[in-house]
């Protein structure tokens, strides 16, 4: 063949390829910015379905809704059973102070809390002794709880977050407040330790001694916000009161007013129910047995609607799939998305997927997971893979500068041992990566709280994340090279211990949960 003729042909082919590539990327950006479905998806998931506690009817409703949305977009999707969980359905929570005055209190029952069974509980509230001598003295005190509502959390010295104190107090007053708060927290913990019981054991001891309900406050250090997890009681309800109302009831008890509360806390036990991951696929044409994955957990805690943990990641990945199907319907590699169940109880859905699908995990080009709030992605690490810098930076090069320039990269990085579902893949040496977002006060105000609702979403930031993830998936599919899962050796030093990091061990999924 004439080499003079070959060179122009190669240049023409390369130019056409780059033009086609740029056109797909331009379409991704345009569609995401001008025809976004994020707000509608968020409304349907968060406002209509609501929170998605593992084992609840709402979780299964969400699984089915995701499948239907993908089907509407002509994307193949299915619910894949991976285990069983204690089924539980939240009912109405209503808490009133009825003596010495009337006030409707802000609070909710914890997940898996026993029900009041159709009859409100009306009883006097008491607190734990503030100066417990030892476990023997505590056991002698225990009969006092019979027929009572028992408050078992620390009464906070202030319901103002520290940032508020720092902004408005004098420097001396702020330091005084911090010192007094630390001392009060230490004193409470030491007093609680003298019961000889851990938190779960304490709740069970109180209900076995005849307490009719347990009242807690798990303040999240911000205005009006509490973290709400699962109940430790087996027979009587456990409710969380806001820091303001918990403090009110606590002071009424402490100063002898003998407050009486009326509590309705309804729920249904549903037995063991099947649990699912929802998985969708756009089949690859050239290398169908190599995979690029999107990842976000669908489940949530259920004191709010699970908007930023992880409704935002869920709708982001759904939107990425919709956009890719529209403008990249015939990818070179197969694109998968996993909407995982029971992440909140230990990455169980994604761990089960890793166990059940070695054919996918072993042929994974890359996985991109998002799960820390509504903010724009600002961090991307190599998760300890020696060659991650080569391919991730190659793919990032095609991302618009306005998005790319805000992302801090770290290579080779340290492999994630937990935190979210990418770690399930990293543990078995598969290249899973976390698209880590800026905070928006996630840890205080929305992570596992009663304020994690639709109104906390910042849709423009999520749109940026859609563009980023869609382009990264597109580039990973198009890349002529297979990524390397070679591990960095040695790994970077652990900043906390000063020793070299170690690769995390694979942990088994809990396939039957909530029944201990």
Span 356-392, pLDDT tens digits: 999 999 999 999 999 999 999 999 999 999 999 999 9
Say how far apart CA 469 and CA 48 lie, in whole Å.
27
Q: Domain ends where: 258, 292, 325? A: 258
Mean pLDDT of 174-178: 98
> Do 215 and 305 belong to one domain?
no
DSSP state string for 416-466: --SSSTHHHHHTTT--EEE-EEP-TTIIIIITTBTT--GGG--HHHHHHHH
> Do 73 and 109 belong to one domain?
no
pLDDT in tens, 30-60: 999 999 999 999 999 999 999 999 999 999 9
| Residue 26 counted as domain residue | no
Mean pLDDT of 378-407: 98
pLDDT at 259: 98
Q: Domain ends where: 206, 232, 258? A: 258
CA-based nearest residue to 54, from 178, 230, 187, 213: 230
Residue 92: pLDDT over 70: yes
> Do 490 and 372 belong to one domain?
yes
Quick count: other Cβ atoms within 10 Å of Cβ 257?
Answer: 14
Partnered with residue 58 across adjacent β-strands are none
Burial class from Cβ neighbours inside 10 Å (0-12, 13-18, 19+) for residue 183 reads exposed
Non-local CB neighbours of 190 within 8 Å, separated by 6+ positions: none
pLDDT at 21: 81
For residue 129, the enclosing domain spans 101-258
Mean pLDDT of 343-351: 98
| Residue 8 counted as domain residue | no
Question: Which two tokens mark 322?
Answer: 């919709």
> Do 353 and 253 belong to one domain?
no
CA-based nearest residue to 441, from 249, 178, 225: 225
CB 196 within 8 A of CB 205: no
Mean pLDDT of 242-260: 98
Residue 17: pLDDT over 90: no
Q: Domain ends where: 258, 286, 301? A: 258
Say how far apart CA 365 and CA 260 lie, in whole Å.
61
Residue 331: pLDDT over 80: yes
> Do 108 and 60 belong to one domain?
no
| CATH number of the domain encompassing residue 46 | 3.40.630.10
> Do 335 and 413 belong to one domain?
yes
| Residue 14 counted as domain residue | no
Partnered with residue 366 across adjacent β-strands are 292
Non-local CB neighbours of 310 within 8 Å, separated by 6+ positions: 296, 297, 298, 300, 343, 370, 371
| Residue 54 counted as domain residue | yes
> Do 169 and 216 belong to one domain?
yes
Residue 13: pLDDT over 60: no
> Do 475 and 509 belong to one domain?
yes
> Do 170 and 201 belong to one domain?
yes
pLDDT in tens, 465-508: 999 999 999 999 999 999 999 999 999 887 778 888 899 999 99
| Residue 305 counted as domain residue | yes
Domain count, the chain: 2
> Do 252 and 278 belong to one domain?
no
Confidence of residue 80 (pLDDT cuts 50, 70, 90): very high
> Do 251 and 173 belong to one domain?
yes
> Do 281 and 384 belong to one domain?
yes
| Residue 265 counted as domain residue | no
């Amino acid at each position: 063949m004439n080499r003079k003729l070959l060179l122009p042909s190669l240049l023409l082919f390369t130019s056409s390829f780059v033009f086609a590539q740029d056109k797909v990327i331009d379409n991704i950006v345009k569609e995401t910015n001008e025809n976004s479905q994020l707000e509608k998806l968020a409304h349907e998931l968060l406002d209509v379905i609501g929170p998605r506690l593992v084992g609840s009817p709402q979780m299964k409703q969400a699984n089915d809704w995701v499948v239907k949305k993908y089907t509407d977009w002509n994307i193949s999707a299915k619910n894949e059973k991976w285990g069983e969980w204690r089924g539980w359905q939240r009912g109405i929570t209503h808490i009133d102070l009825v003596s010495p005055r009337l006030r409707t209190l802000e609070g909710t029952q914890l997940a898996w809390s026993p029900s009041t069974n159709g009859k409100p509980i009306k009883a006097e509230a008491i607190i734990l002794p503030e100066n417990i001598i030892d476990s023997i003295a505590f056991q002698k005190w225990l009969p006092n709880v019979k027929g009572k509502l028992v408050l078992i959390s620390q009464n906070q010295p202030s319901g103002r977050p520290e940032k508020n104190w720092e902004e408005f107090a004098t420097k001396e007053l702020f330091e005084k407040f911090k010192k007094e708060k630390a001392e009060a927290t230490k004193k409470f913990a030491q007093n609680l330790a003298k019961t000889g019981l851990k938190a779960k054991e304490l709740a069970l001891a109180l209900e076995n001694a005849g307490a009719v309900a347990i009242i807690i406050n798990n303040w999240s250090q911000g205005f009006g916000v509490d973290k709400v997890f699962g109940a430790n009681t087996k027979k009587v309800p456990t409710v969380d009161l806001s820091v303001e109302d918990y403090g009110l009831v606590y002071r009424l008890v402490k100063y002898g007013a003998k407050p009486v509360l009326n509590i309705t806390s309804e729920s249904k036990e549903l037995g063991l129910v099947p649990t699912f991951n929802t998985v969708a696929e756009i089949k690859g044409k050239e290398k169908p047995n190599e995979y690029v994955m999107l990842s976000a957990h669908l489940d949530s805690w259920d004191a709010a609607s699970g908007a930023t943990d992880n409704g935002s990641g869920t709708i982001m990945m759904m939107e990425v799939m919709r956009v890719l199907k529209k403008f990249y319907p015939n990818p070179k590699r197969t694109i998968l998305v996993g909407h995982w169940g029971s992440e909140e109880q230990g990455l169980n859905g994604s761990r089960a997927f890793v166990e059940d699908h070695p054919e996918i995990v072993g042929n994974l080009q890359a996985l991109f997971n998002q799960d820390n709030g509504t903010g724009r992605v600002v961090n991307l690490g190599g998760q300890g893979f020696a060659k991650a810098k080569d391919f991730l930076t190659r793919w990032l090069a095609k991302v618009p500068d306005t998005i790319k320039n805000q992302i801090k990269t770290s290579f080779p990085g340290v492999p994630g041992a937990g935190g979210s579902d990418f770690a399930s893949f990293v543990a078995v040496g598969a290249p899973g990566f976390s698209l880590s977002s800026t905070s928006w006060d996630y840890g205080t105000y929305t992570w596992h709280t009663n304020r994690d609702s639709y109104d906390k979403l910042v849709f423009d930031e999520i749109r940026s994340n859609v563009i980023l993830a869609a382009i990264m998936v597109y580039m990973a599919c198009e890349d002529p090279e297979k990524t390397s899962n070679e591990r960095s050796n040695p790994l970077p030093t652990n900043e906390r211990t000063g020793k070299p990091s170690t690769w995390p061990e694979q942990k088994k999924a809990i396939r039957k949960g909530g029944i201990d």
